């Protein structure tokens, strides 16, 4: 009972609320364009952008030098790769190319994207299961917002940097989405932790398990809360990840995890 | 660069013009560096009322790249003396915008121009193959336009006459009095200063005394566009001249045109 209460407190602290799934993906995309001065010349970029797969319509604001695109919800922002090579360009690259072919210079691309915020080995990411893409995030001073929404569906507004496989979404604003979209949570009781280093190592081990979106470990409460994709992770794998890990100067089996049911 | 050289070579192999046919937001009598978007196709018809007749220039424009455009001009010409009419000499032109600096709300650009006119017009035409080249610069903004260019035409021999080569220089200013939204009509007022220096013509190798000279003109005009349609018009009014021998004073030229981008 004590553990159950602790888990509930931990869940409340981490803000891992559950709710209905929201529509994921790019909900809006605005590109700032340098060189836009006359409507007649802007026609070329209109024509090019309307041919971009995923773009449904657009509105050109010449005075502000920007073009607002209405895109299909299932349009991938980043490119798809096969065997380590980029197989198809993502929406961001296609839009950038269209603007260039229209005779102008794309300067900044601002997007609103919905997905699930997670932390991986490479850092913060926005995972959009509906389109099967993972968008790397640069927290840009919004770490608190990302942490608060970790493991949850959230809407991120930011600017895109880089091209092809190196696209990064520089976070400008994090807004709470409509909940976790049915993600599973697992609480673990963990013994053997003596410092924050232990907690970090265990968190890393848990997040390396395929299907895990995020993990939080509290060394004082001897607890871990793990967010996973529904039906993708057998809880026993979480236990194995902790029970089988070693740390320098500590024998194997130092850490013992139990599932809190 | 390689693409442009290829186009230039092709132009040379296949096929006048001083290139004074306007494209998009460009001077009506001078040159400008604007090009068409990549793979873009445009059609333009321009009526030019000139001394001793008029010409209807039908142009097909194509954007090879965002900074390289080619144009085919097939004019229909009517001359008062002698009273003939029909298709005139075909002109092929190319334009390479070799420098473009885009900034918020505007663009700076420099372009090279090259063209050739073939003696396809038959009777009434000069019957010569002429080469044309030039360089143009522009600064375009939401309110103001500035243009400048230098251009030349090397005229070949035709019908035992070699017309004098032409060197021209132009500057132009444009003003957009009302900054409208994208799908609204957009008006730009233009005023140009056009200078033209023409060498003496030669007939069977003998210089023609009453030919050539220097003419300076002022040319007010307008460009009115509605999305991918543009209507344009202007007058070229000679304000000063120094002509060789005995020649009639240069006359006012009038041009009206419509351009459509597909």
pLDDT, tens digit, for every residue of B66-119?
A: 999 999 998 888 877 667 788 888 999 999 999 999 999 999 999 999 999 988
Quick check: A44 contacting B, CB < 8 Å? yes
Taking CB atoms and an 8 Å limit, are B38 and A48 in contact across chains?
yes
Gap from A107 CA to chain B (nearest CA, Å): 9
Predicted pLDDT of residue B204: 86
Instruction: Give residue A5's pLDDT.
Output: 47
On whether the CB atoms of residues B171 and B192 are closer than 8 A, the answer is yes
Set of chain B residues whose Cβ sits within 8 Å of the Cβ of A103: 35-38, 63, 66-67
pLDDT of res. A32:
95
Contact A32, A62 (CB under 8 A): no
Does the pLDDT of residue B140 top 60, yes or no?
Answer: yes
Chain B residues in contact with A34 by the CB 8 A cut-off are 102-104, 107
> Which pLDDT score, from 0 to 100, does residue A84 have?
62
Nearest-by-Cβ selection for A38 from B25, B100, B184: B25
The pLDDT of B113-138, averaged and rounded, is: 86
Q: What is the nearest CA distance from B46 to chain A, expressed in angstroms? A: 18
B184 chain-A contacts, CB cut-off 8 A = 39
- Asked if residue B176 has pLDDT above 60, the reply is yes
- Determine the distance in angstroms separating the CA of B91 from the nearest CA of chain A, rounded to an integer: 24
Spell out which residues of chain B touch residue A65, defining contact as CB-CB under 8 Å: 104-105
Q: How far apart are CA A21 and CA A39, in angstroms?
A: 41
| Most confident residue range from A12-16, B27-31, B54-58, B160-164 | B27-31
pLDDT of residue B148: 97
Q: Please name the residue of chain A whose CA is at the shortest distance from the CA of residue B142.
A: A37
Q: Give the per-residue pLDDT at A83.
A: 65
Q: Across the interface, do B37 and A101 touch by the CB < 8 Å criterion? A: yes
Chain A nearest-CA distance from B83, in A, is 39
Q: CA nearest A32 in B: which residue?
A: B104
Average pLDDT value for residue range A144-167: 83
B106 CB neighbours in chain A (<8 A) are: 35, 37
Structure tokens at A77: 């922002």
- Mean pLDDT for the stretch of residues A163-172: 85
Interface contact A58, partner B, CB < 8 A: no
Does A124 score more than 90 pLDDT? Answer: no
Residue-level pLDDT at B221: 96
B186 contacts in chain A (CB < 8 Å): 38-40
pLDDT at B77: 85
Q: Which of A35, A43, A107 shows the shortest C-beta gap to B227?
A: A43
| pLDDT-wise least confident of A51-60, B75-84, B138-147 | B75-84
Looking at residue A223, what is its pLDDT? Answer: 83
Q: By CA distance, what is B99's nearest residue in A?
A: A103
The verdict on A130 touching B (C-beta cutoff 8 Å) is: no
Instruction: Give residue B124's pLDDT.
Output: 61
Arithmetic mean of pLDDT, A170-190: 72
Q: Is A57 on the interface with B (CB under 8 A)?
A: no
Locate B150 and state its tokens. Answer: 């230098």
> What are the pLDDT digits (tens) for A139-150?
888 887 788 788
Subunit contact B104:A107, Cβ cutoff 8 A: yes
pLDDT tens across A58-74, in order? 999 999 999 999 888 78
What mean pLDDT value characterizes chain A?
A: 80
pLDDT of A16 reads 36
Residue pairs spanning A and B at CB distance below 8 A: 91
Which pLDDT score is estimated for A215? 78
Are A228 and A212 in contact, with CB atoms under 8 Å apart? yes
* pLDDT of res. B7: 44
Q: pLDDT tens-digit profile of A238-256?
A: 988 888 887 777 777 788 8
Which residues in chain A have Cβ-Cβ distances shorter than 8 Å to B140? 37-38
Residue-by-residue DSSP string for chain B: -HHHHHHHHHHHHH--TT-----SSS-SSS-----PPTT-EEEEEEEEEETTEEEEEEEEEEEEETTEEEEEEEEEEEETTTTEEEE---EEEEEEEEEEEEETTEEEEEEEEEEEE-S-S-TTS----EEEEEEEEEEEESSEEEEEEEEEEE--EETTEEPPPEEEEEEEEEE-SS---TTS-EEEEEEEEEEEEEPPPEETTEEPTT--EEEEEEEEEEEEEETTEEEEEEEEEEEEEEESSS-PPPPPEEEEEEEEE-
Residue contact B67–A40, C-beta within 8 A: no
From the list B35, B39, B106, the residue facing A37 with the nearest CB is B106
Task: Answer with the residue of higher pLDDT: A3 or A170.
Answer: A170
Closest chain B residue to the Cα of A58, Cα to Cα: B182
Q: Is pLDDT at A103 greater than 80 in this prediction? A: yes
Higher pLDDT, A185 or A193: A193
Q: What is the mean pLDDT of residues A156-170?
A: 86
pLDDT tens digits along B193-232:
999 999 999 888 888 889 999 999 999 999 999 999 999 9
The answer to whether A32 faces chain B, any CB pair under 8 Å, is: yes
Structure confidence at residue A24 (pLDDT):
59
User: What percentage of chain A exceeds 90 in pLDDT?
Assistant: 20
Highest mean pLDDT among A51-55, A231-235, B147-151, B250-254: B147-151
Using a CB-CB cut-off of 8 Å, the residues of chain B touching A49 are: none
- In this prediction, residue B177 has a pLDDT band, given cuts at 50, 70 and 90, of very high
Q: What are the chain A neighbours of B25 within 8 Å (beta carbons)?
A: 38, 40-41
Whether A41 and chain B come into contact, CB under 8 Å, resolves to: yes
Q: Return the bridge partners of B190, or none.
A: B174, B221
Closest of A92, A95, A196 to residue A136, by C-alpha: A92
Question: Which pLDDT score is estimated for A7?
Answer: 45
């Amino acid at each position: 009972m004590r553990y159950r209460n602790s888990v509930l407190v931990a869940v409340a602290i981490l803000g891992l609320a559950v709710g209905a799934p929201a529509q994921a993906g790019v909900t809006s995309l605005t590109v700032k364009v340098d060189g836009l001065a006359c409507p007649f010349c802007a026609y070329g970029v209109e024509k090019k952008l309307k041919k971009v797969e995923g773009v449904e319509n657009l509105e050109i604001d010449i005075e502000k030098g920007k073009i607002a695109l209405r895109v299909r919800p299932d349009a991938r922002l980043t490119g798809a790769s096969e065997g380590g090579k980029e197989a198809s360009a993502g929406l961001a690259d296609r839009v950038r190319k269209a603007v260039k072919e229209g005779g102008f210079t794309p300067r900044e691309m601002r997007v609103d994207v919905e997905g699930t915020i997670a932390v991986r080995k490479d850092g913060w990411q926005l995972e959009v299961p509906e389109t099967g893409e993972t968008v790397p995030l640069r927290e840009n001073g919004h770490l608190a917002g990302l942490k608060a929404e970790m493991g949850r569906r959230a809407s991120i507004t930011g600017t895109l940097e880089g091209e092809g496989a190196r696209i990064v979404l520089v976070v400008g604003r994090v807004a709470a989405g409509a909940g976790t979209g049915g993600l599973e949570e697992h609480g673990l009781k963990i013994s053997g932790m003596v410092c924050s280093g232990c907690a970090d190592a265990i968190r890393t081990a848990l997040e390396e398990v395929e299907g895990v979106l995020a993990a939080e470990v509290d060394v004082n409460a001897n607890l871990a809360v793990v967010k996973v994709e529904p039906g993708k992770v057998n809880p026993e794998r979480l236990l194995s990840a902790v029970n089988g890990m070693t740390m320098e100067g500590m024998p194997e089996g130092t850490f013992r995890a139990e599932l809190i049911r | 660069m390689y693409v442009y050289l290829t186009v230039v070579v092709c132009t040379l192999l296949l096929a006048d013009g001083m290139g004074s046919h306007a494209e998009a937001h460009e001077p009506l009598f001078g040159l400008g560096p604007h090009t068409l978007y990549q793979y873009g196709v445009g059609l333009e018809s321009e009526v030019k009322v000139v001394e001793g007749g008029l010409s209807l220039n039908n142009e097909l424009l194509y954007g090879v790249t965002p900074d390289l455009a080619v144009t085919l001009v097939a004019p229909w010409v009517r001359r008062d003396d002698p009273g003939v009419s029909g298709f005139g000499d075909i002109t092929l032109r190319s334009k390479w915008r070799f420098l473009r600096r885009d900034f918020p709300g505007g663009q700076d650009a420099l372009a090279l121009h090259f063209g050739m006119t073939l003696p396809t017009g038959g009777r009434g035409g000069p019957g010569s193959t002429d080469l044309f080249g030039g360089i143009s610069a522009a600064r375009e903004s939401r309110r103001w336009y500035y243009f400048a260019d230098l251009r030349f035409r090397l005229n070949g021999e035709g019908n035992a006459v070699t017309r004098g080569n032409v060197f021209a220089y132009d500057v132009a200013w444009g003003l957009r009095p009302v900054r409208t939204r994208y799908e609204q009509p957009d008006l730009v007022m233009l005023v140009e200063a056009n200078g033209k220096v023409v060498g003496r013509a030669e007939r069977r190798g003998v210089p023609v005394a009453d030919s050539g000279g220097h003419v300076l003109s002022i040319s007010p005009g307008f460009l009115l566009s509605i999305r991918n349609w543009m209507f344009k018009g202007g007058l070229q009014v000679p304000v000063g001249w120094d002509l060789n021998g005995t020649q009639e004073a240069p006359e006012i030229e009038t041009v009206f045109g419509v351009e459509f981008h597909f």
